[in-house]
A and B are shown apart, each in its own frame.
Chain A
Amino acid sequence: MLAALNRRFGYDERSAAILVFPVVAVLLVVAAYPILYSFWVSLHDIVLTRPLRRPFVGFDNYLRIFEDERFWLAVSRTTFYTVVTVAVTTLLAILVALLLNEAFPGQRLLAALLLVPWATPSVVNGLMWKWIYDPTYGLLNALLVQLGLLDRYRAWLGDPDLTLLLIANAAIWKQMPLAALLLIVTMKAIPDDLYRAAKVDGANVLQRFAHVTLPALRPGLMLVLVYETMISIRHFDLFLIMTQGGPGDASFVLSWLIYVETFRSLRFGTGAAMSYVLAMVTFLLSWAVIRWLGKRI
């Protein structure tokens, strides 16, 4: 009896249990429980201004979301924003990685500089770009007018056609470094022999990039694409700081909608349901990553 118990929970099991317990406890309380709780909330009609009546409504909140015009507007805004952000971030990251993968004097300095945007808090990132875009004192206006590209100052963020792109620009500035770092590490792992073989075979610089660098970069690129999508889809800080969803509904993205629904309208039920929809979408997107990361552990 004792031997059988010892067998199932030997020294390894007992040690592992002690070592893993704190993390599991924290994650259960701060991640797993809220996730489940959130699902419960999303099945109820909870409005904080009406605390006593919180009827169970099943999936009504979800149905209500899909009938909500604002939701579909937010979906299209989020999609546009995410696609632009991810595409430009990735392209810029490839260019930066190619540059920093070269050996030249000052390369280390540039690599250190790359960490500055990464370390910048997103709130500061937002206020910095808002200041640059400022309609009367902003750097962007001054620069373009001094260069003769613009004849008079413009209210950049007030232009509904430009708002999302300008916010995306701020996001790209902050996100590009990590993507570039990941790609540089992938590039460093490409065996030098491949380049030498390609040179001997007579490939020029562009051909070497297309036939050696790009294929070898694929795993890194995959990771960058999925990771950037995951975080761009749920950007919130920049929208709060720079536009608050405006002008009009020009930057009315999903995370902003969830924030407004929950903390301004205090409709927690629908807010939670929206969070769940967004979480599901992100989860499906990142399922690929899990499988991919899971395989190597």
Chain B
Amino acid sequence: MATITCEQLTKRYGSVVAVDRLDLTIQHGEFMVLLGPSGCGKTTTLNMIAGLEEISDGTLRFDAKDVTWQPPHQREVAMVFQSYALYPNKSVRENIAFPLALRRTPRAEIARAVQDVAEQLEISHLLDRRPSQLSGGQRQRVALGRAIVRKPSVFLMDEPLSNLDATLRVSMRSLIKHLHHRLRATFVYVTHDQAEAMTLADRIAVMRGGLVQQLDTPEGIYARPANTFVASFLGSPQINLVEGEIAPDGSFVRGALRLRLPEGAAAPGRAVMLGLRPEDVAPPGPGLVTLEARVDLVSPLGSETLLEVIAPGDVPLTLRVPKDWRAREGEVLALGLDPARLHLFDRATESRL
């Protein structure tokens, strides 16, 4: 049982603040993903939860217990690393058994637990090998085994899939998700990969510059990004952001581009950024705003097609449309946009309106 509570958690390196007064509660059994670009403080946060980095300020609790000053080996957390971090001098079996051996678990019990974990992860045939004789995917399974063999209530994962190739990453992703369902433990997962975050998380904390930008479910973050940073960090291709103003009649204007917005979306005269997800376009229809744009480039992906178009006012947009749209470069295309799905951000503060 473990609910992790960060209260005003801060990490300073000299004058550099890596994590700035972080308040975050991770519920028991929750799968929390810390997402952000490198240097955003997500790994530092994870290391502080693990006890591997000293906490400069603030309090960390596991349930009601203050663990701020507890060294890592007394915290009863398990961790999986990007570099796998298998002990090269130990066999796979010894690697998985190591945490139990340190706890003076009876030998027979260790053997049983290792066997059990190996079967779950389908690595029974590798038990007597050395880490150097394994492939990357196999190594990461061993690392997972070493983590779950202790049955801890907190799992910390530091970009565990980043060193794997794309296909392997997808299958390991579902393996981790299954593990979470089965173990019902608290997972804290650090990644810079939005797809991993979206597929795995119960909730995502998007971080930048040591601050949490937004904390929400994957759907919530995608549908209602709190600011332009979050909006552009999630979604591929990136959201289209267009600078402009709110006209007196309440519509968005940028040069020749004029889009009607829902009633009361923003005060007239305000400098804003308009966000349009590439997939939020349809053929013109009732209730939709129509936009005419010239097709500049067509990139078929098979399952769908990417279009680069130039909207009025020389605004370039990237769109993702169904594969059966027959667009040709050079022709002008009429598009329907749902005003309710447009995102508006303040241009100065970059936050959502």
Contacts and interface: CB of A to CB of B under 8 A. Distances in A.
A36 B49 CA distance: 46
A50 interface: no
10 contacts: A3-B69, A6-B69, A7-B69, A10-B54, A10-B69, A10-B71, A11-B69, A11-B71, A12-B54, A12-B71
Interface in A54-102: none
Contacts of B71: 10-12
Contacts of A7: 69
Interface of B: 54, 69, 71
A7 to B, nearest CB: 7
B344 to A, nearest CB: 46
Interface in A3-28: 3, 6-7, 10-12
A6 B54 CA distance: 12
Contacts of A12: 54, 71
Interface string A253-284: 00000000000000000000000000000000
Nearest to A3: B69
B351 to A, nearest CB: 36
Contacts, number: 10
Q: Contact size class for A?
A: under 10
Contacts of B69: 3, 6-7, 10-11
Contacts of A3: 69
A287 B247 CA distance: 70
Nearest to A11: B71
Contacts of A6: 69
Given A3-B69, A10-B69, 8 more contacts: A6-B69, A7-B69, A10-B54, A10-B71, A11-B69, A11-B71, A12-B54, A12-B71
9 closest residue pairs by CB, A with B? A11-B71, A6-B69, A10-B69, A7-B69, A10-B54, A12-B54, A12-B71, A10-B71, A3-B69
Nearest to A10: B69
A6 B66 CA distance: 13
A165 to B, nearest CB: 52
A134 to B, nearest CB: 54
Contacts of B54: 10, 12
A12 B69 CA distance: 10
A6 B69 CA distance: 7
Nearest to A14: B71
A11 B54 CA distance: 10
A225 to B, nearest CB: 35
A30 B263 CA distance: 84
A7 B55 CA distance: 10
Contacts of A10: 54, 69, 71
A45 B258 CA distance: 97
Nearest to B55: A7
A111 B227 CA distance: 65
A188 B129 CA distance: 33
A12 B71 CA distance: 8
A232 to B, nearest CB: 41
A11 B71 CA distance: 6
A9 B71 CA distance: 12
A214 B175 CA distance: 54
A15 to B, nearest CB: 9
Nearest to B74: A11
A7 B54 CA distance: 10
Nearest to A7: B69
A3 B70 CA distance: 12
User: Which of A3, A6, A11 counts the most chain B CB atoms within 10 A?
Assistant: A11
A7 B71 CA distance: 12
A10 B71 CA distance: 8
B289 to A, nearest CB: 58
B349 to A, nearest CB: 37
A68 B200 CA distance: 82
Contacts of A11: 69, 71
A141 to B, nearest CB: 58
A11 B69 CA distance: 8
A133 to B, nearest CB: 52
Nearest to B51: A11
B64 to A, nearest CB: 16
A87 B69 CA distance: 56
A2 to B, nearest CB: 10
Interface in A139-163: none
A42 to B, nearest CB: 41
A159 B54 CA distance: 68
A3 B55 CA distance: 13
A10 B69 CA distance: 7
A9 B62 CA distance: 22
Nearest to B73: A11
B73 to A, nearest CB: 9
A94 to B, nearest CB: 37
B68 to A, nearest CB: 9
A293 to B, nearest CB: 23
A62 to B, nearest CB: 42
A267 B56 CA distance: 56
A182 B300 CA distance: 58
Nearest to B71: A11
A129 to B, nearest CB: 46
A86 B54 CA distance: 48
Nearest to A6: B69
A113 B54 CA distance: 50
A3 B54 CA distance: 14
B158 to A, nearest CB: 20
A10 B54 CA distance: 9
A11 B68 CA distance: 12
A3 B66 CA distance: 11
Nearest to B66: A3
